[in-house]
């Protein structure tokens, strides 16, 4: 990452601090002060002063000096700190609730999954359950990974991944069809805030977002993918358009509803109220039914049957793949993207799905004769929504580290 037009130390200190932090946090390998100076255009003295602030506040850590054959002082590699600041990602899914906690280095320090049937669930009751998960995650971090001298972890924030149309700026969920939730204005995150305040003694910011968008951001944070279409498959099918490491949200934040592209307008009724949506052909329930399995059959059972050569299960997945391929071909014709990343329960079925989807792209994309398509299983395939939600909290810290310099000293 190279940033130009660095500002003077005394006029825009916070901006320069952010430039330095971003270089350290986005570097593929530990980076020295001299390299940060060269990339940002800031003087070595300015960089050294700003790095000292980041180190003193335990946002950044110094590794042992690297002795070089060149003259001068040994370089001190800089890396994101571990075990100091944490982000929590929570997820509501039709079949489970989950949560994870990560630190600034992206290391996951705990994960909790609570299986259940949350279709038609009470949102307030679910938020109470998520509050219990969040507190358990903080307890885990407190016991196992805190930096010496720190009495409590700094919880920089919580993000909640939800499967629906969301206005994240106002914490409004318009509709989550497969949960049966609608018109939550705002989503009541009070139980989580209250529980974390009792545990930490500090107010913690709670945000919400679409689960597919967070799943796409997990691929950016942990797999270094930058431009791609991420497909998240559960009971519903969502997607995230990621360009240059950022999710394209659309005007209201509602882009990516791949599961509600119409495959057949006279097809089966969908939970969204329309007919013939993709998820009625390629969603988990549709595949289970076509395979002769009950609706409450776990996705893992379907995957096992496919891997064991069960003819009905394989045929059901192939039928889903054909519908998915047609929908993705339309998507590619519209947005001209070359990489498609399959997540959710599509991830373990990728070997079967990829040839079918690729064939559809080659057949139906206008630019196919001059294009190459890369369809691959998601590198972060398991729990990607909650992981992306948590790492997004950490990303916000290093993009704007100034507010956290003093925060750490209160813990």
pLDDT tens per residue across span 330-351: 999 999 999 999 999 999 999 9
Specify if 350 maps to a domain: yes
Backbone angles phi, psi at 87, to 5 degrees: -120, 140
Specify if 6 maps to a domain: no
- In the structure, what pLDDT confidence band is assigned to residue 408 with cuts at 50, 70 and 90? low
Q: Which letter does DSSP use for residue 4 in this model?
A: -
Cα 240–Cα 243–Cα 248 angle in degrees, nearest 5: 50
Specify if 2 maps to a domain: no
If asked whether residues 208 and 130 sit together in one domain, one would say yes
CATH number assigned to the domain comprising residue 143 = 3.30.420.40
If asked whether residues 100 and 118 sit together in one domain, one would say yes
Cα 363–Cα 366–Cα 372 angle in degrees, nearest 5: 70
Residue 192 has pLDDT above 70, yes or no: yes
What is the rounded distance in angstroms from the CA atom of residue 109 to the CA atom of residue 276?
42
Give the least confident one: 198-207, 246-255, 366-375: 246-255
Which stretch of DSSP H or E encloses residue 400?
A: none
Q: What is the mean pLDDT of residues 207-214?
A: 96
User: How many domains would you assign to the chain?
Assistant: 3
- In the structure, what pLDDT confidence band is assigned to residue 382 with cuts at 50, 70 and 90? confident
**Final residue belonging to a domain, choices 23, 51, 80:** 80
Backbone angles phi, psi at 150, to 5 degrees: -100, 120
Residue closest to 213 by CA, chosen among 231, 187, 189: 231
Backbone angles phi, psi at 85, to 5 degrees: -105, 145
Q: What is the mean pLDDT of residues 349-377?
A: 95
Cβ-contact 188, 263 below 8 angstroms: no
Rounded percentage of the chain residues whose pLDDT exceeds 70: 93
What is the rounded distance in angstroms from the CA atom of residue 256 to the CA atom of residue 306?
28
**Final residue belonging to a domain, choices 24, 46, 80:** 80
- Give one DSSP letter per residue of 102-150, joined into a string: EETT--EEEEEEEE---TT--HHHHHHHHHHHHHHHHHHHHHHTPPTT-
If asked whether residues 322 and 395 sit together in one domain, one would say no
Specify if 220 maps to a domain: no
If asked whether residues 296 and 195 sit together in one domain, one would say no
If asked whether residues 120 and 76 sit together in one domain, one would say no
Could you tell me where the beta strands, DSSP code E, fall in 11-95? 60-62, 78-80, 85-92
- In the structure, what pLDDT confidence band is assigned to residue 406 with cuts at 50, 70 and 90? confident
Contacts of 280 (CB under 8 A, 6+ apart): 263, 267, 268, 269, 270, 286
If asked whether residues 338 and 303 sit together in one domain, one would say yes
Looking at every residue in the chain, the average pLDDT score rounds to 91
Coil, helix or strand for 381?
coil
Distance of CA 250 to the CA centre of its chain: 18
Strand order in the sheet with 228-233: 246-248, 237-243, 228-233, 339-344, 374-377
If asked whether residues 361 and 242 sit together in one domain, one would say yes
Per the model's pLDDT, the better-predicted residue between 158 and 255 turns out to be: 158
If asked whether residues 124 and 263 sit together in one domain, one would say no
Cβ-contact 246, 358 below 8 angstroms: no
If asked whether residues 34 and 128 sit together in one domain, one would say no
pLDDT in the model for residue 167: 87
**Per-residue pLDDT tens for 31-50?**
999 999 999 999 999 999 99
CATH number assigned to the domain comprising residue 75 = 1.10.10.10
pLDDT in the model for residue 136: 96
**Per-residue pLDDT tens for 152-185?**
678 999 999 999 999 888 899 999 999 999 999 9
- In the structure, what pLDDT confidence band is assigned to residue 410 with cuts at 50, 70 and 90? low
pTM of the model: 0.91
For residue 200, count CB atoms less than 10 angstroms from its CB and return exposed for 0-12, middle for 13-18, buried for 19 or more: middle
Specify if 312 maps to a domain: yes
Cβ-contact 232, 212 below 8 angstroms: yes
If asked whether residues 247 and 153 sit together in one domain, one would say no
Specify if 101 maps to a domain: yes
What is the rounded distance in angstroms from the CA atom of residue 379 to the CA atom of residue 20?
28
Q: What residues make up the domain containing 363?
A: 226-378
Residue 224 has pLDDT above 50, yes or no: yes
Specify if 4 maps to a domain: no
If asked whether residues 357 and 236 sit together in one domain, one would say yes
Cβ-contact 400, 82 below 8 angstroms: no
Residue 315 has pLDDT above 60, yes or no: yes
- Measured in Å, how far apart are the chain's first and last C-alpha atoms? 32
- In the structure, what pLDDT confidence band is assigned to residue 2 with cuts at 50, 70 and 90? very low
Q: What is the mean pLDDT of residues 256-278?
A: 92
Residue closest to 166 by CA, chosen among 97, 60, 252: 252
Cα 15–Cα 18–Cα 21 angle in degrees, nearest 5: 155
Residue closest to 320 by CA, chosen among 291, 288, 281: 281
- In the structure, what pLDDT confidence band is assigned to residue 138 with cuts at 50, 70 and 90? very high
If asked whether residues 371 and 273 sit together in one domain, one would say yes
Specify if 218 maps to a domain: no
Distance of CA 253 to the CA centre of its chain: 15
Residue 407 has pLDDT above 60, yes or no: yes
User: What are the CA-CA distances from residue 43 to residues 8, 15, 59, 74 (Å)?
Assistant: 9, 14, 21, 18
Cβ-contact 373, 362 below 8 angstroms: yes
């Amino acid at each position: 990452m190279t940033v130009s037009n660095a500002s003077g130390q005394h006029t825009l200190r916070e901006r320069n601090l952010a430039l330095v932090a971003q270089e350290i946090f986005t570097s593929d390998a530990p980076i020295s002060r001299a390299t940060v100076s060269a990339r940002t255009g800031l003087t070595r003295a300015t960089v050294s002063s700003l790095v000292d602030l980041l180190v003193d506040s335990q946002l950044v850590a110094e590794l042992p000096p690297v002795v070089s054959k060149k003259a001068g002082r040994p370089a001190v590699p800089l890396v994101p700190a571990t075990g100091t600041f944490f982000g929590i990602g929570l997820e509501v899914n039709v079949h489970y609730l989950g949560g994870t906690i990560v630190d600034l280095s992206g290391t996951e320090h705990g994960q909790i999954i609570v299986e259940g049937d949350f279709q038609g669930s009470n949102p307030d009751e679910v938020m109470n359950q998520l509050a219990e998960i969040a507190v358990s995650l903080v307890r885990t971090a407190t016991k196992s990974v805190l930096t010496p001298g720190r009495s409590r972890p700094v919880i920089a924030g919580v993000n909640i991944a939800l499967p629906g149309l969301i206005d994240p700026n106002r914490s409004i969920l318009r509709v989550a069809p497969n949960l049966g939730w609608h018109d939550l204005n705002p989503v009541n995150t009070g139980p989580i805030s209250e529980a974390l305040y009792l545990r930490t003694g500090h107010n913690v910011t709670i945000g919400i977002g679409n689960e597919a968008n967070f799943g796409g951001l997990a691929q950016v944070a942990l797999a270094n993918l930058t431009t791609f279409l991420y497909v998240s498959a559960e009971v519903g099918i969502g997607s995230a358009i990621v360009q240059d490491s950022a999710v394209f949200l659309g005007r209201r934040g509602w882009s990516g509803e791949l599961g509600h592209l119409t495959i057949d307008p006279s097809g089966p009724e969908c939970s969204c109220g329309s007919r013939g949506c993709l998820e009625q052909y390629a969603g988990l329930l549709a595949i289970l039914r076509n395979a002769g399995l009950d609706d409450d059959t776990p996705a893992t059972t379907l995957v096992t049957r496919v891997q064991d050569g069960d003819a009905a299960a394989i045929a059901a997945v192939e039928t889903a793949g054909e519908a998915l391929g047609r929908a993705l071909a339309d998507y590619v014709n519209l947005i001209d993207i070359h990489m498609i990343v399959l997540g959710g329960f599509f991830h373990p079925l990728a070997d079967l799905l990829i040839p079918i989807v690729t064939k559809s792209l080659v057949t139906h994309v206008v630019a196919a004769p001059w294009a190459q398509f890369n369809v691959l299983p998601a590198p972060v395939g398991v729990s990607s929504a909650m992981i992306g939600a948590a790492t997004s909290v950490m990303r916000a810290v290093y993009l704007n580290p100034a507010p956290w310099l003093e925060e750490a000293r209160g813990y």
